[in-house]
Chain A
Amino acid sequence: GAVVSQHPSWVICKSGTSVKIECRSLDFQATTMFWYRQFPKQSLMLMATSNEGSKATYEQGVEKDKFLINHASLTLSTLTVTSAHPEDSSFYICSASYQNTEAFFGQGTRLTVV
Chain B
Amino acid sequence: GENVEQHPSTLSVQEGDSAVIKCTYSDSASNYFPWYKQELGKRPQLIIDIRSNVGEKKDQRIAVTLNKTAKHFSLHITETQPEDSAVYFCAASRGGGGNKLTFGTGTQLKVEL
- By a CB distance below 8 angstroms, the chain A residues around B57 are none
Chain B interface bracket (under 10, 10 to 19, 20 to 34, 35 or more): 20 to 34
Partner of B100, one of A46, A99, A110: A46
Bits for A62-105, please: 1 = Cβ < 8 Å to B, else 0. 00000000000000000000000000000101010101111101
Is there contact, CB below 8 Å, between B100 and A49?
Answer: yes
What DSSP secondary structure best describes chain B's contact surface? loop
- By a CB distance below 8 angstroms, the chain A residues around B98 are 32, 97, 99-101, 103
| Cβ < 8 Å to A, chain B residues 59-110 | 89, 95-106
Partner of A101, one of B96, B104, B105, B106: B96
On chain A, the number of residues with a Cβ less than 8 Å from chain B's Cβ atoms is 22
- By a CB distance below 8 angstroms, the chain B residues around A99 are 98
Is there contact, CB below 8 Å, between A103 and B34?
Answer: yes
Is there contact, CB below 8 Å, between A100 and B104?
Answer: no
Partner of A100, one of B95, B102, B103: B95
- The answer for the CA separation of A32 and B98 in the assembled complex, in Å, is 8
- The answer for the CA separation of A56 and B3 in the assembled complex, in Å, is 22
